[in-house]
Structure 1
Amino acid sequence: MSEAATRTVTTPPGLLASLEPLLREWLPRQRWFAGKGRPVTGFTLVQATELLPATAKLGLYHLLVRAHQPLLPGHGGAESPGDCYQLLIGVREALPPRLAPALIGHVDAGPLAGRTVYEALHDTRPAELLLEALRTQARIGGLRFERDPHQEIRGGLVPRLVTAEQSNSSVVYGDTFILKLLRRIVPGINPDLELPLALAREGCTRVPPPTAWLVADPDDPPGPTAEPYVLAVLQPFVQGAADGWELALRELAKGEDFVAEARALGRATAEVHTALARALPTVTLGHTQLHAMVEGMRERLEAAVQAVPALRPYADGLRSAYSALDELAAEGRTWTAQRVHGDLHLGQCLRSPDGDWSLIDFEGEPARPLSERRMPQPVVRDVAGMLRSFDYAARSVDPPQPEWAERCRAAYCSGYGEASGRDPRTDPVLLRAYETDKAVYEVVYEARHRPEWLAVPLAAVHRLTASDLT
């Protein structure tokens, strides 16, 4: 593929129809599929791009498809318009044994009849093609492979798929780069590209700077106002880095303290927040804005109390956390809001072998609308997420170690205050409201998906309402 290669592509008619029976079975089994528990009733093709012709030994298609599913009771009409997913479909006559886990199925009809299709990210050649397209800034059909001209991308880096469960898919290239492919796609600039680019412009070294990225320009809906889709981001790979969650569990298992790491992580978080406040606009939240925010918290609480009966004894105490914030705003108190990480926890942090902490995965909570994820928020939202993460780590061991969590929480806030000039604990009403909102979310999540973990957020709910129960 030559420098800045551009080529048009044609996709065989009937491609999606031939794949649909297989995708209906395969897609719901994927970790990153958001519509668990509801059957897929059909697909709409948003965009199809032939990256390698299926007439060759190896074919490769890039697809954006909408998966149609029946709505849950009480959510309006019979069927949802469908989430859009990014798929990389490999095509072979037969799969070698090493690709058996990637099998999607055998096609019976249509342009790929008689061929085998599979998840192409498991295969070396398709993964190499993606990196080469980014290196050469290729344009293939409606796909734009873009890059930072100041960063070098060497060819010949060996790819490997990251097999750990995650809400997207990642490929590591020779311990030099990591490519994150977003699976659930929405139009508009994705924070996972937007915020690291802004931080790179500010010279913030706490976040790996984007090296290259993949964007699509589909006509869905058709017209000149259609927004592009951010599909993937390539960033430097932090070789030898330890995931914050795994590191915390390791230290807990050994009976080691995590206070110094928590303090350093607090400083890193504050540095990122400070750089984001310089790079992007901030706003002042007065009573009107805070009241709307509190109403959202209250609505989530009421829905949670209905869904999880174990919350009912704590409902009044939880409501008081939100009322206290509303009252403070009514008295004229204001807060600054800015762009934040949006889904910060120990698993979103990496410690390099030299001890430096980095923050990753700025996508925010994928289940929330993109417009909401890009809204300015008080920095305490991120702080509350990390404080809850320390609690989860301490209660994931037997016996639980709540004192360990308390020491980490205090150290994290101290480190944050050292770097930012403001300790989050000096705003206890706002911090309690955000911690409460996060704990309520966790209660609903655990009740639905991991009932054996429900005691963890319920312990936080008890702590957050303790003064109201006495």
Structure 2
Amino acid sequence: MSEAATHSATAPVARPELLASLDPLLREWLPRQRWFAGKGRPVTGFTLVSAVELLPPGAKAGLLHLLLRAHQPLTPAQGAAPQPGDCYQLLVGVREALPPRLAPALIGHPDEGPLAGRTVYEALYDPRPAGLLLEALRSRARVGELRFERDMRQEIRGDLVPRLMTAEQSNSSIVYGDTFILKLLRRIVPGTNPDLELPLALSRAGCARVPAPAAWMLADLGGQTSVLGVLQPFVQGASDGWELALRELAKGEDFAGEARALGRATAEVHTALARTLPTVTLGRAQMELLVDGMAGRLEAAAQAVPALRPYAPGLLTAFEALADLAAEGHTWTAQRIHGDLHLGQCLRSPTGQWSLIDFEGEPSKPLAERRMPQPVARDIAGMLRSFDYAAHSVPGAPGDADAPAPLIPGWVDACRAAYCTGYAEAAGVDPRTDPVLLRAYETEKAVYEVLYEARHRPDWLPVPMAAVRRLAASP
């Protein structure tokens, strides 16, 4: 990493003029990115948190690593208190001109400042900057505020050819020679990120269901450390669970066998996490807080989505039933979980082995909340809802606008039953033996889906609304 290691945050990138030259370009470019969280609100300005030269903007090419806060108008839910703005990680390439192969990466042409007259672009499309990141991880480089660490037990070759994965996702991923995949987080928060913390813990526990981190990228700022990226083994030829389920549906094939195997994999991960990290017992006081949060989110969603309002009283009974059990003295165990489990977060290798990936949790939630112990029923409910989404979907299109129907009658029920059976085989406990807890978490997930689809994908709203009608009518 000698090339990058010799450059740190220097005057050209630390001056305010750098941000001034990029500001108008980023205001247009950033909101168009799939991973930008503040859609629907204009960007009013930026604050530069960190700027590091990984390659100086010389005659041929440069590479700037930026952490910057995007400032936007507040939503009514955020109130009037000042908000710091989300911090985003950007890798900005600098060239005289872009070759045609990099045209999709264009950010723009600064008119002023230290980059005036140059072309700036999303550097992850470019093999040279992408390769530089891998070399930094291999060599455990330190560049300005950036720190690259690795597990020395895993070999990382330096000749792996990088390619950017272009599928839409909430972060960015680079595959290196079908051997490793580097997930670069886009929204950066200080503290221990579960996307690194939990796979490391599972690796120490000997759990083979999660690819063990080979290297990771950190930023040390203001006495706090932030995780910027994680390099893990790439499961070559794997299908994610969502793609596989849709393929089987399109062929009219049964998916229950895969659902059962996926249930076993989920249970193995949960068991390893409970063995490795602390667990807690949730009694009446803790469950009252949990139920109050569920009820509050339901109320907020019903205010935002009028179609949800007629079903709110029925949905509320799912939470009230859980509170009643807690009042009677029932307790539950909480532990570290995946936090955002669905078919798209699971990989099936060509040999049939299922793995779980992406332990970041729901990025919209505060980091402290994502790291809290929770009942495993939350993960299980997320997967059950994912089977429902798959059954009401066809590749490239949402369910029927009025009353979405599964492509194969009974497919969802068969998958749900098989998944819970597989889970029970590995964990020794069947999630269906606690129907009140499972219904509460399914209801909470469906309410979240309604709000998400109403805001981002209105054509998909009938899918969670079908679940809402079912759950609101459930005893």
- TM-score band, normalised by the shorter chain? over 0.9
Q: Percent identity?
A: 78
Give SS of 1:216's match: strand
Residue 9 (structure 1) shift: 3.6
1:452 to 431, 456, 459: 459
Query: 1:247-262, aligned counterparts within 5 Å?
Result: 247-262=244-259
Residue 75 (structure 1) shift: 2.9
Q: Distance in 2 between matches of 1:334 and 1:133?
A: 48
Q: Distance in 1 between matches of 2:450 and 2:10?
A: 49
Q: Distance in 2 between matches of 1:172 and 1:17?
A: 33
> Which residue of structure 2 lines up, in the alignment, with residue 137 of structure 1?
140
In 2, are the aligned partners of 1:336 and 1:378 still within 8 Å (CA)? yes
Residue 77 (structure 1) shift: 2.6
Give SS of 1:344's match: coil
Q: Structure 2: which amino acid aligns with 1:407? A: A
1:246 to 234, 243, 246: 243
2:354 pairs with 1:351: no
Residue 80 (structure 1) shift: 3.1
Rate the CA distance shift 1:164–1:41 in 2: closer, same or farther, 3 A.
same
2:383 to 366, 381, 386: 386
Q: Distance in 1 between matches of 2:364 and 2:147?
A: 26
Q: Which moved more, 1:3-12 or 1:209-218?
A: 3-12
> Which residue of structure 2 lines up, in the alignment, with residue 95 of structure 1?
98
Q: Which moved more, 1:103-112 or 1:261-270?
A: 103-112
2:79 pairs with 1:82: no
> Which residue of structure 2 lines up, in the alignment, with residue 223 of structure 1?
none
Give SS of 1:63's match: strand
Q: Distance in 2 between matches of 1:55 and 1:5?
A: 16
In 2, are the aligned partners of 1:6 and 1:138 still within 8 Å (CA)? no
> Which residue of structure 2 lines up, in the alignment, with residue 303 of structure 1?
300
2:284 to 284, 287, 291: 287
In 2, are the aligned partners of 1:4 and 1:136 still within 8 Å (CA)? no
Please list every run of 5 or more consecutive structure 1 residues that lacks an aligned counterpart in the other structure.
Answer: 220-225
Residue 98 (structure 1) shift: 0.4
In 2, are the aligned partners of 1:63 and 1:87 still within 8 Å (CA)? yes
> Which residue of structure 2 lines up, in the alignment, with residue 191 of structure 1?
194
> Which residue of structure 1 lines up, in the alignment, with residue 468 of structure 2?
461
> Which residue of structure 1 lines up, in the alignment, with residue 65 of structure 2?
62
Q: Could you tell me the TM-score, scaled by structure 1's length?
A: 0.96
Deviations 1:233-280 (A, max 9, x none): 000000000110000000000000000000000000000000000111
Give SS of 1:442's match: helix
Q: Distance in 2 between matches of 1:277 and 1:154?
A: 34
> Which residue of structure 2 lines up, in the alignment, with residue 208 of structure 1?
211
Q: Could you tell me the TM-score, scaled by structure 2's length?
A: 0.95
Q: Structure 2: which amino acid aligns with 1:118? A: Y
Q: Structure 1: which amino acid aligns with 2:369? A: E
Rate the CA distance shift 1:74–1:430 in 2: closer, same or farther, 3 A.
closer
Residue 466 (structure 1) shift: 2.1
Query: 1:16-165, aligned counterparts within 5 Å?
Result: 16-73=19-76, 75-77=78-80, 80-165=83-168
Residue 8 (structure 1) shift: 3.9
Give SS of 1:87's match: strand
What number of residue pairs does the alignment pair up? 462
> Which residue of structure 1 lines up, in the alignment, with residue 10 of structure 2?
10
> Which residue of structure 2 lines up, in the alignment, with residue 314 of structure 1?
311
In 2, are the aligned partners of 1:137 and 1:146 still within 8 Å (CA)? yes
Deviations 1:199-244 (A, max 9, x none): 000010000000000000122xxxxxx3211000000000000110
Rate the CA distance shift 1:263–1:90 in 2: closer, same or farther, 3 A.
same
In 1, are the aligned partners of 2:281 and 2:331 still within 8 Å (CA)? yes
Give SS of 1:132's match: helix
> Which residue of structure 2 lines up, in the alignment, with residue 331 of structure 1?
328
Q: CA RMSD in A?
A: 1.4
Q: Distance in 2 between matches of 1:265 and 1:402?
A: 21
Q: Distance in 1 between matches of 2:55 and 2:283?
A: 55
Query: 1:362-377, aligned counterparts within 5 Å?
Result: 362-377=359-374
